[in-house]
């Protein structure tokens, strides 16, 4: 720890304190430790100091000072990153935006709002509760909107509402030199200028620090129904999902849990009447007639595909219980093997290849001897293998090995190493295989052009890219 | 013309002929004249030669040669641009991609396809006709997919299916130095790497030449119904549109025609039973129950908002006749004032400001003494004023003046000068007002970094940017 503190530029911290006030700059060990990691298994690394920003101007001043002192910085939101995005491997400043939680404006007629980047989805939706509108992108954890933008997040509702990418109209970001840039606007669409909004989304804090976001909102559906259907085989479950999409059913959510995950979830969430078999969790949203019609279409597909019964409900309590079980999948896994930790993969393939991929992955899991339930956003072709890491000396190594095997399989099937968690520290090594070399070269050129001193979240995303 | 030919690098044309063959390179006056303009009112300018590419490799060779000779090039597709995108103001090469019409792959299970950039939407949908799928983005004209990507096009179906931006999964583009870059892939979503796909979309050929596109497809709706409703006032029509969106009706199309446009369309398309009043054209898509339910909700909204009756039909012939009238709005305008030409504006604002904007625009039109029907994608807040340009010496000047006034009004209301037509030559002067100066500076930096010799469509989009 002393080494990090030494490496840290004492002048910079003094300048930050002078500019922002002592209350917004901390070098306390406990605070630095909390900012040394996200929720993944990547080695933590201590920042030299943590700056708590309250405004875009605070961020701009901090970044400008870091740039002047050539000290790196990593933005920090809720710390829910699974791929080490928030870890500062080279030390420097952790720039905490979690106090930037203001809803700056809500425009009900235009169904949009503007928020500070540190607000969580949950707090935003709480604030919106009387408008009849909501923000649908739901990555599971209590992530901040800024973090979701930076990692191009999505979640269970993406099959209906799109990912964060489709739900951001514009944003404010601080560039490496401390300048404040405003992109996009409030209009639904525009054909003027380069799409800087989407250049920032998914850039993982390496091109700028996102401080404000203009979001699209959606009307809360009039009617919501939930259903569960079980299958003897995984391929029947996947074929059913493909049919549902091809029939144009505007499904609200479409999730797949494999037999192992179901075993864990049945135990944890006390799901009665369900067996440890491949299972689809479905949600139908829309007007009541539309929902009834969707259920009818899906029921016919399920019957055709050999589904074992089809149970649906509109009762809010039962619906909530079902989806709570889905949302608690991760905790169910942890309870399944007490004392183990969980490492979550994030592979994605074209949906036509999903069945083949999961069959291969299950063989890999069996060969590894590990327990690894599978749960996924089948409508997007994206799924998570929740690898349960044994508390043994070789546990983490075995889990990494399985994780890497799964990624290789997905890439071989035309997929991506990450559907929604991002690259961070954890997936850098795969970018060379996943992306065209010219595209990767252009990414590097953009990074060097927009951050010539390499201060913005160095060592993340681009393989071999460091200061 | 001789001057352009002289400016042209004779060596370059010889090299192009040697590389691509004589049949793919033309310096004929008629061919060059055809490639000197799009469909807008911008002054034509002759390219020194026209190259007809058949493959990505042809494009790569041509761009590399242009770059080596420091000769500018502008891509050309169907030539339907309204803002001078295809005009080569500095001469050089017109790179015609209209022979690149292959559908390279169709994946029905994944609901995607890959096409060469020169294919038109109509030809693509014709090719897809037996798959049950279609490509929904419909900008009206017989545009190519590549041109639609380059200008970030949309059209009447964007309110339901999104613009081209939401329907492209990846693409192949040739960079300024002739290197071929492949971006994105076939997965629905990915959180890895900078979003180069969307950096290219809307870049108007200034960062690269798009040669192939991976497109999302959608299931053809089971049921389609059309409706028309008229109002005494424009603000009632706009308020109705806002309500429809806020009630969460998944409307297929939602178009507004003002009293003047209706007068023109009633005459041209012989619409019986309709009056020259502000009118909404609606399309409902989905399952039959869903469509019935949507119609019920909209009927109640219309009644509440003072709509003058509500007439809907599922009969394909009557439906087609209605929407043909909408699609022929432009031709109806031309027939309305024989001998006049038409200049089309493309302003967009947040929908809450649309009523105010159109009222202001109608006052501007009255003051101008010109005839200018209004038709628009009200669901997106985007509308076109079809300014009928008198065949008088000052006609064009008066039309430009009105066009500019409309843009200024839209910008003052937080809008954009172009919802879907792009910037090209025509809207450059507004970018300084519309975009944040730092964002505009980053755009210039990106342009110079990716095209250091300024050969890619110089003089377009960025104000004051030339070689």
> Which residues in chain A (308-347) have CB-CB distances under 8 A to chain B?
346
Full DSSP string of B164-188: GGGGEEEEEEE-TTS-EEEEE-SSS
Which strands form B223-230's sheet, in the order they lie side by side? B311-313, B223-230, B279-286, B253-257, B374-377, B382-389, B341-344
| Angle subtended at Cα B53 by Cα B50 and Cα B56, rounded to the nearest 5 degrees | 140
- Report the chain B residue with the minimal C-alpha distance to residue A186: B350
Q: What is the pLDDT of residues A39-66, one digit of tens each?
A: 999 999 999 999 999 999 999 999 999 9
Cα diameter, chain B:
70
Q: Which residues of B touch A431 (CB under 8 A)?
A: 192-193
Nearest CA-CA partner of A137 in A107, A167, A97, A98: A167
Q: How far is A202 from chain B (nearest CA, A)?
A: 6
- The architecture that CATH gives domain B223-326 is 2-Layer Sandwich (3.30)
Chain A's closest residue to B159, CA to CA, is: A188
Which CATH number does B337-422 carry?
Answer: 3.30.70.2740
Q: Tens place of pLDDT for every residue, chain B, 467 residues?
A: 455 545 568 899 999 999 999 999 999 999 999 999 999 999 999 999 999 999 999 999 999 999 999 999 999 999 999 999 999 999 999 999 999 999 999 999 999 999 999 999 999 999 999 999 999 999 988 999 999 999 999 999 999 999 999 999 999 999 999 999 999 999 999 999 999 999 999 999 999 999 999 999 999 999 999 999 999 999 999 999 999 999 999 999 999 999 999 999 999 998 888 999 999 999 999 999 999 999 999 999 999 999 998 888 878 888 888 899 999 999 999 999 999 999 999 999 999 999 999 999 999 999 999 999 999 999 999 999 999 999 999 999 999 999 999 999 999 999 999 999 999 999 999 999 999 999 999 999 999 999 999 999 999 999 876 55
Contact across the interface for B416 and A166, Cβ inside 8 Å: no
Instruction: Using pLDDT thresholds of 50, 70 and 90, give the confidence band for residue A87.
Output: very high
Residues 30-89 of chain A whose Cβ lies under 8 A from any Cβ of chain B? none
Would the CB atoms of B193 and A427 count as touching at under 8 Å?
no
Residue A265 has pLDDT above 60, yes or no: yes
Report residue A1's pLDDT band, with 50, 70 and 90 as the boundaries.
very low
Within a 10 A sphere around the Cβ of B68, how many other Cβ atoms? 16
- Cβ-in-10-Å burial (0-12, 13-18, 19+) of B307 comes to buried
Report the helix count and the strand count for chain B, using DSSP H and E: 17, 18
Q: Which of B109, B179, B438 sits opposite A181 (nearest CB)?
A: B438
**pLDDT at position A3:** 58
Q: What ipTM goes with this model?
A: 0.96
Q: Is the pLDDT of residue A455 over 70?
A: yes
Q: Does B194 touch chain A (CB under 8 A)?
A: yes
| Both tokens assigned to B49 | 């030669």
Sorting pLDDT into bands at 50, 70 and 90, what band is A314?
confident
In chain B, list all ranges with CATH 3.30.70.2190.
223-326
Listed in order, strand segments (DSSP E) in B145-301 are 168-174, 180-184, 209-216, 218-219, 223-230, 253-257, 279-286
Q: Do residue B420 and residue A191 have CB atoms under 8 angstroms apart?
A: yes
The answer to whether A463 and A216 have CB atoms below 8 angstroms apart is no
A chain contacts of residue B431, beta-carbon cutoff 8 Å: 192-193
Name the residue of chain B whose CA is nearest to A167's CA: B166
Closest chain B residue to A189 measured between Cα atoms? Answer: B419
Residues contacting residue A47 through CB under 8 Å, at least 6 positions apart? A4, A32, A35, A36, A74, A88, A91, A92, A93, A94
H-helix or E-strand spanning residue A235: helix A234-246
Verify whether the Cβ–Cβ distance A420 to B191 is below 8 Å.
Answer: yes
Q: How far apart are CA A300 and CA B13, in angstroms?
A: 62
Contacts of A194 in chain B (CB under 8 A): 199, 202-203, 207, 442-443, 446
Asked whether residue A466 carries a pLDDT value surpassing 70, the answer given is: no
Cα B202 to chain center, whole Å? 10
Which of B179, B193, B423, B440 to probe by mutation at the A interface, max A CB count within 10 Å? Answer: B193
Separation CA B413–CA A408 (nearest Å): 50
What count of CB pairs under 8 Å joins A to B?
Answer: 298
Question: For residue A73, which of A460, A465, A463 has the smallest C-alpha distance?
Answer: A460
* CA–centroid distance for A423 within its chain: 11
Instruction: Kindly list the residues from chain A whose CB atom is less than 8 angstroms away from the CB atom of residue B247.
Output: 219
Q: Shortest CB distance from A438 goes to which of B181, B287, B288?
A: B181
- Residue in this structure with the two tokens 């899991």, named with its chain if needed: A365
Q: Per DSSP, which regions of B98-208 are E strands?
A: 103-107, 112-116, 133-134, 168-174, 180-184
Q: Does B263 touch chain A (CB under 8 A)?
A: no
Span(s) in chain A for CATH 3.30.43.10:
2-96
- Residue B352 φ then ψ, to 5°: -65, -20
Q: Does A217 touch chain B (CB under 8 A)?
A: no
For chain A, what is the mean pLDDT? Answer: 95
Residues of chain B with CATH 3.30.70.2740: 337-422
The answer to whether A392 contacts chain B (CB < 8 Å) is no
User: What number is the average pLDDT over the span A142-155?
Assistant: 97
Q: In B, which residues are within 8 Å of A436 by CB distance?
A: 181-183
Residues 437-456 of A with CB under 8 A from B: 438-440, 442-443, 445-446, 449-450
Residue B285 sits at φ, ψ, to 5 deg, of -135, 150
Residues of chain A neighbouring B151 (CB-CB closer than 8 A): 191
Is B423 an 8 Å CB contact of chain A? Answer: yes
Return the pLDDT at A272: 85
Q: Which of A297, A416, A418 sits opposite B185 (nearest CB)?
A: A416
- Number of Cβ within 10 Å of residue A78's Cβ equals 22
> Which residues in chain A are contacts of B40 at CB distance < 8 A?
none
The domain made up of B2-96 has a fold known as 3.30.43
**What CATH architecture applies to the domain A223-330?**
2-Layer Sandwich (3.30)
Closest CB to A191 among B108, B151, B349: B151
Of the partner residues A162, A289, A419, the one whose CB lies closest to the CB of residue B290: A289
Contacts of B168 in chain A (CB under 8 A): none
CATH fold of A103-219, please?
3.30.465
According to the model, what pLDDT value does residue B1 have? 45
CA pair distance A405, A407, nearest whole angstrom:
5
H/E run at residue A234:
helix A234-246
pLDDT of residue B141: 85
A439 → closest Cβ in B132, B182, B415 = B182
* C-beta of residue A460 within 8 angstroms of C-beta of residue A423: yes
- The alpha carbon dihedral of A241, B105, B159, A152 has a sign of positive
Q: How far apart are CA A369 and CA A347, in angstroms?
A: 20
* Predicted confidence (pLDDT) per residue in A169-208, tens digit: 999 999 999 999 999 999 999 999 999 999 999 999 999 9
Cα–Cα nearest to A75, from A173, A196, A185? A173
Which residues in chain B have their CB less than 8 angstroms from residue A293's CB?
A: 287-290
Question: Residues A237, A281: contact at Cβ < 8 Å?
Answer: no
Q: Which residues on adjacent β-strands are paired with residue B374?
A: B385
Distance from CA of B11 to the nearest CA of A (A): 29
pLDDT at A7 (0 to 100): 59
Helices B259-269 & B316-327 angle (0-180, nearest 10)? 120
For residue B428, list chain A residues with Cβ-Cβ distance below 8 A. Answer: none
Q: Does B242 reach chain A within 8 Å, measured CB to CB?
A: yes
Facing A349 at nearest CB: one of B108, B187, B380: B187
Residues A191, B181: C-beta atoms closer than 8 Å: no
The answer, yes or no, to whether residue A8 has pLDDT greater than 80, is: no
Topology (CATH) of A337-423: Alpha-Beta Plaits (3.30.70)
Of the candidates B416, B420, B446, the one whose C-alpha atom is nearest the C-alpha of residue B434 is B416
pLDDT above 60 (res A450): yes
């Amino acid at each position: 720890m002393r080494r990090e503190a030494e490496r840290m530029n004492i002048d910079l911290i003094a300048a930050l304190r002078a500019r922002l006030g002592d209350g917004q700059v901390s070098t306390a060990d406990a605070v630095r430790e909390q900012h040394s990691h996200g929720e993944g298994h990547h080695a933590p690394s201590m920042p030299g100091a943590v700056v708590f920003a309250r405004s875009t101007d605070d961020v701009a001043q901090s970044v400008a000072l870091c740039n002047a002192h050539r000290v790196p910085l990593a933005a920090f939101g809720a710390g829910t990153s699974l791929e080490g995005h928030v870890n500062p491997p080279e030390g420097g400043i952790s720039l905490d935006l979690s106090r930037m939680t203001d809803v700056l404006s809500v425009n009900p007629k235009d169904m949009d709002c503007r928020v500070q980047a540190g607000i969580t989805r949950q707090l935003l939706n709480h604030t919106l509760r009387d408008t009849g509108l909501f923000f649908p992108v739901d990555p599971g954890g209590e992530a901040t909107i800024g973090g979701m933008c930076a990692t191009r997040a999505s979640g269970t509702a993406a099959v209906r509402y799109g990912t964060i990418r489709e739900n951001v109209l514009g944003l404010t970001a601080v560039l490496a030199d401390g300048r404040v840039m405003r992109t996009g606007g409030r209009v639904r669409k525009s054909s003027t200028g380069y799409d800087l909004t989407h250049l920032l989304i998914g850039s993982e804090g390496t091109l700028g620090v996102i401080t404000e976001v203009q979001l699209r909102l959606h009307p809360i559906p009039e009617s919501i129904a939930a259903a569960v259907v079980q299958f003897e085989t995984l391929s029947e479950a996947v074929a059913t999902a493909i049919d549902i999409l091809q029939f144009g059913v505007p499904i609200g959510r479409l999730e797949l849990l494999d037999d192992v995950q179901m075993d864990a979830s049945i135990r944890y969430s006390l799901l009665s009447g369900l067996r440890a078999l491949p299972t689809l969790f479905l949600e139908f949203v829309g007007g009541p007639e539309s929902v009834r019609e969707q259920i009818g279409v899906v029921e016919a597909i399920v019957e055709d595909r050999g589904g074992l019964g089809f149970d649906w409900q509109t009762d809010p309590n039962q619906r909530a219980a079902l989806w709570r079980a889905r949302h608690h999948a991760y905790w169910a896994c942890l309870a399944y093997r007490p004392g183990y930790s969980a490492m979550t993969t994030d592979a994605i393939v074209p949906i036509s290849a999903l069945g083949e991929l999961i069959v291969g992955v299950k063989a890999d899991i069996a060969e590894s001897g590990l327990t690894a339930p599978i749960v996924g956003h089948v409508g997007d072709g994206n799924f998570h293998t929740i690898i349960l890491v044994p508390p043994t000396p070789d546990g983490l190594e075995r889990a990494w090995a399985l994780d890497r095997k799964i990624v290789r399989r997905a890439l071989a099937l035309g997929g991506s190493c990450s559907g929604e968690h991002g690259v961070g520290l954890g997936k850098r090594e795969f970018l060379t295989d996943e992306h065209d070399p010219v595209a990767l070269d252009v990414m590097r050129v953009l990074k060097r052009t927009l951050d010539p001193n390499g201060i913005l979240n160095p060592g993340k995303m681009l393989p071999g890219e460091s200061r």
